Amino acid sequence: MKPIAAALALFLAGPALAQTQESGRVGSGAPEDIFMEVTHGDDGAPVLSQDEFTLAHGGYYRFNLVCPEELTSETGFHFEATELLENAHIRVLSVAETDLEFYMQGLSFRAIECDDAGTARFSFHPMRKGVYPIYVRDQSIPPKEVFGRIIVE
């Protein structure tokens, strides 16, 4: 009886355990949401709500790029995390609203542009440990830039 009770307890706890990301173990279940909001600062430069994220190697995450302001193609933002994308297994790309564009290159994408208020997101497994830069710029000439980073442990 005890082995059956233990197996049942593990089965029922499964969804709760799936939220814990463990380095070196490819995650399963629902991805853990990560949010980064990009807005304009007083000087017009992009401002990130968070500029550093620490993730578990092999974990399962959904990165949400949130652009809450009304934007145009002249006032929007351009997001890149090239090195992370080169070292991750991309699962799903999605756009919650219109005028958010994914630029595809091979089996991955290289950038997301916010040309209006909305959210774009991608779910992924980081497959290599390291520190990966995040680059966000506006559409001005020369562009105003801001940098963040993702640390995969």
> Could you tell me the domains of the chain?
2-152 (2.60.40.420)
Examine the pLDDT at 8 and tell me if it is beyond 50. no
What's the half-sphere exposure (Cβ side, CA atoms, 13 Å) at 18? Answer: 13
Distance CA 58, CA 76 (A): 32
Residue 3 CA, chain-centre distance (Å), reads 40
pTM score, whole prediction? 0.78
Cis peptide leading into residue 142 (ω within 30°): yes
pLDDT digits (tens, 9 = 90+) for 10-20: 444 444 444 57
Backbone angles phi, psi at 15, to 5 degrees: -60, -35
Q: What is the CA radius of gyration of the chain?
A: 18
Is residue 53 within 8 Å of 34, Cβ to Cβ? yes
